Amino acid sequence: MKLQNDLLLRAAQGENVERTPVWLMRQAGRILPEYRAIRNSISGFKELVETPELACEVTIQPVDILEVDAAIIFSDILVIPEAMGLPYQLIEKQGPYFENTVKTLSDVEQLRIADPEESLKYVTDAIRLTKNELNGRVPLIGFAGAPWTIFSYMIEGQGTKTFAKAKKMLYTNPELSHRLLGMITESTIAYLKAQVAAGVDLIQLFDSWAGVLSREQYLEFALPYISKICDAVDTVPKTVFAKGAYYVRKELGMLNCQAIGLDWNMDIEESRALIGQNMTLQGNLDPCLLYSDKSTIKAATKKMLNTFGATKHIANLGHGLYPDTNPDHVKYFIETVKEHKF
């Protein structure tokens, strides 16, 4: 099916576009009253993720309400460890929690490479349903967590400030670390290929905890696995978003992907110089800026757009939307991007 709005895909591939496309990380979620109404009517977050009809509905909400240029399938990065045999819970106001964690090589040997047709069918079903409901209006983005970020949860058991247990494992047991990272990578490749087969138009890898690693550790335990995924999933454009990984921007620019996401701490011009002229850049307004008044939002958005330039840019935030952001301010940011003239 031909897309009515293919701005995102053309921009990702470096083509000239009539205007800068815009979508937002965490756009399908808590800022929207319509999302909260659905969320409050069911038992919990995981029911929403695992029910294709509901996941489809909340995926499409920001397309209807915010008028973004892409939908991103409503899911969670932690479906991968669960599909590998390490289940998680999502505790309200606390975040993800793993009752069991990986401590030894025998724990790794109890895990399996995820079979998306068997254990992640609810995601691919949601993708097919969403593609059908979107009816070609905008592209649908699929995603997964990058191996280091998934590894960090499987070792740590929950989100922490330092991920010291996960980093300790890299230092004290590199053999276990590489073994587990390899399994996560194979699982993620199978999962993303299944998403593509189900109909996603672009994929994004989220390395949410990239910033806790040193450059040396990132080059050994993170980047090679991202590179392997990028090489294996080669039929749709790919974006890599490594939050806090300012120290490997040059290396990120060498990946077999089409776009690199920048967080709000990464200077745009410096990032362009390091990453190179051929890659599309995505980002990178500070999500907190949307708490300010509309004139401030407009001025900052226009400054960001002019700095990135008219080509090879996908407008986004430098991280996900915060749940208490005013939806009117979010919509104003999107409108400002759409109306901007270079």
Q: Is 191 a catalytic residue?
A: no
* Residue from 35, 88, 153, 218 carrying the catalytic annotation: 153
- Average pLDDT of the chain is 97
**What DSSP character marks residue 320?**
P
The pLDDT of 171-197, averaged and rounded, is 98
Q: Can 76 be counted among the known catalytic residues?
A: yes
**Given this model, what pLDDT does residue 341 score?**
95
Q: Is residue 90 very low, low, confident or very high in pLDDT (cuts 50, 70, 90)? A: confident
2 vs 280, more confident: 280
Helix (H, G, I), strand (E, B) or coil at 316: strand
Sorting pLDDT into bands at 50, 70 and 90, what band is 93?
A: confident
Q: What is the pLDDT of residue 75?
A: 97
CA-wise closest residue to 71 among 135, 117, 20, 10: 135
What is the structure's pLDDT at 92? 77
Asked whether 5 and 32 are in contact (CB, 8 A), the reply is no
Instruction: Please tell me the least confidently modeled range out of 83-92, 268-277, 303-312.
Output: 83-92
pLDDT at position 7? 98
Domains by residue range for the chain, with CATH: 7-244 (3.20.20.210)
- Name the catalytic one among 10, 19, 30, 179: 30
Backbone torsions φ then ψ of 94, nearest 5 degrees: -120, -35
On whether the CB atoms of residues 322 and 287 are closer than 8 A, the answer is yes
Q: Which of 6, 35, 69, 76 is labelled catalytic?
A: 76
- How many degrees, rounded to 5, is the angle at CA 62 between CA 58 and CA 63? 110
Average pLDDT over residues 277-281: 97
The predicted structure's pLDDT at residue 218: 98
pTM of the model as a whole: 0.97
pLDDT for 129: 98
Q: Is 153 a catalytic residue?
A: yes
Cα–Cα distance measured from residue 216 to residue 182, given in angstroms and rounded to the nearest whole number: 18
Rounded Cα–Cα distance for residues 207 and 211 (Å): 9
In three-state secondary structure terms, 280 is strand
| 95-132 pLDDT tens trace | 899 999 999 999 999 999 999 999 999 999 999 999 99
Whether the predicted pLDDT of 1 surpasses 90: no
pLDDT at 200 over 80: yes
DSSP per-residue string spanning 52-94: HHHHHHHHHHHHHHT--S-EE----TTHHHHHTT---EEETTT
Does 336 score more than 80 pLDDT? yes
Beta carbons of 83 and 140 less than 8 angstroms apart: no
What is the reported pLDDT for 138? 98
pLDDT in tens, 44-57: 899 999 999 999 99
30 has catalytic annotation: yes
Identify the active-site residue in 10, 19, 39, 128. 39
For residue 318, pLDDT beyond 90: yes
Helix (H) or strand (E) holding 263, with range, is none
Q: Which two tokens stand for residue 21?
A: 């496309």
> What ranges in the chain are assigned the alpha helix state H?
7-12, 33-40, 45-50, 52-65, 79-83, 105-109, 116-119, 121-134, 147-156, 164-172, 174-198, 215-221, 223-232, 249-252, 268-275, 294-308, 327-339
Cα first-last separation, the chain: 31
Of 5-19, 91-105, 178-192, 287-301, which range is least confident? Answer: 91-105
- The confidence score (pLDDT) of residue 293 equals 98
Query: Within its chain, how far is the Cα of 329 from the centroid?
Result: 22
